[in-house]
């Protein structure tokens, strides 16, 4: 099992309760499991079971949102992107 502090600074994807997927660099986490992601992209219209697939940056269902705070109570799934 990976400690949450081991993935600070890594690219992650977070599936949130309204179906959106936020992808970015994990910058911060607090005791309530709220996440701060830097250089974030938001995807919508992608099914949760496809969240681990590689998306195109030019995906028509995406937008750049920069710095994002995701409340812990809205997190459904966190996917750590493998290092290349």
Q: How many CB atoms lie within 10 A of CB 2?
A: 7
- Local confidence band at 49 (pLDDT 50, 70, 90 cut-offs): low
- The answer, yes or no, to whether residue 26 has pLDDT greater than 90, is yes
Q: Up-side HSE of residue 29: CA atoms within 13 Å toward CB?
A: 17
Give me the mean pLDDT over the 38-58 stretch: 70
Q: 35 pairs with which residues across the strands? A: 29, 70
- Point out the least confidently predicted range of 2-6, 15-19, 23-27, 68-72: 2-6
- The answer, yes or no, to whether residue 32 has pLDDT greater than 80, is yes
């Amino acid at each position: 099992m990976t400690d949450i502090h081991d993935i600070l600074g890594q690219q992650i994807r977070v599936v949130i309760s309204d179906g959106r997927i936020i992808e970015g660099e994990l910058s911060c986490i607090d005791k309530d499991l709220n996440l701060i992601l830097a250089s974030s992209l938001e995807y919508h219209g992608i099914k949760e079971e496809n969240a681990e697939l590689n998306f195109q940056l030019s995906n028509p269902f995406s937008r750049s949102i920069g710095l994002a705070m995701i409340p812990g109570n809205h997190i459904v799934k966190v996917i750590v992107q493998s290092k290349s």
